[in-house]
Amino acid sequence: MAIAFHWSPSTRRASIRRRGLIIGATPAVNGVEDDHRNPWISLAPTPALAWWMSGEALEGGGFAAEDPVWDLWEVNLAGIEHTTGTPSYPEITVPSCIPPDRLTWIGTRTFGVGDAA
C-alpha cells in the first residue's frame, strides 16, 4: 500500500473526517500570500517530513498556529494519482481531493513541543 502523511490543526478534524482533504481549503501554512491556494493536496512520505513542511515551517518562520494541537493523518494513496517530491523537498502532491475513507487519524502533537511522531 502506498501511504503518505499530512498534519493539520485539530480544529479541522471533524471536517476532515466528514469531507476528507479538500483542495482550496484555507491552508494552515501559507508562505505566499493570504489568498493563495495550491491546486493540490500536500503530503509527505513520513510524519517527520510532513511536520517539517507544515508545523515546523510555521514555527521556524515565527508564525502563530491556528490551534496548538495538530493531527497526523495517514493517507492511503493506492490508485490515487500523485507525484513524488525530490530529496531536497519531499512534498508529495495529489491533484484531487482525498476522500475521508482514504484517511486514518494517527494521533496528535502540540505545536512547538517535541519532535515529530
Give the predicted TM-score (pTM) of the model. 0.83
What are the tens digits of pLDDT across the range 16-42? 999 999 998 877 765 555 566 778 999
C-alpha span between 95 and 80 (Å, rounded): 9
What are the tens digits of pLDDT across the range 64-94? 666 778 899 999 999 999 999 888 888 999 9
Nearest C-alpha neighbor of 77 from the set 104, 59, 115: 104
Query: How do the domains of the chain map onto residue ranges?
Result: 3-110
Nearest C-alpha neighbor of 16 from the set 81, 75, 93: 75
pLDDT grade for 96, boundaries at 50, 70 and 90: very high
| Most confidently predicted of 46-55, 59-68, 90-99 | 90-99
The CATH classification number of 3-110 equals: 3.20.170.30
Question: Alpha helices of the chain — where are they, by DSSP H?
Answer: 13-19, 47-53, 55-60
Nearest C-alpha neighbor of 13 from the set 34, 29, 28: 28
- Mean pLDDT score, 8-20: 95
